[in-house]
Structure 1
Amino acid sequence: MRINLDRNVCQGHGLCQMNAPHLFTLSEEDGLAIQPSNPIPQEYEEEGRLAVASCPEFALSLIEED
């Protein structure tokens, strides 16, 4: 699975980092999320799904892979 981050939509709420600390960091310059490394390691997929679901701006999208 992959996660796509649209930094033009991100408002820096930080919920992605709070819910998926292994996947997301926040920029020290503007507080916006930094694109996670893809593909997401299997052990962090649940964190990734939670981060995508918790983004109030819908800046994250999930891409399932076969």
Structure 2
Amino acid sequence: MTRKERKNHIMTKTEKTIELMSSKLEDVEFSALSADKDDVEALVRSEEADGRQLRRMESK
């Protein structure tokens, strides 16, 4: 939702879809300096999962 819209406005399905699509296009950066322990653990788990997925794809 844009900043100009009222907070108590109930979004339609179309508005929700547009909002979701636009949020997926945003670039998210990871800052190691501001990351806490949970962020680093999540990053490690994500990299391990990516490696497992690549191995599965290569073995097929």
Q: TM-score of the superposition, structure 2-length normalised?
A: 0.28
Higher strand share: 1
Q: Which has the higher contact order (CA 8 A, sep 6+)?
A: 1
Which has more radius of gyration? 2
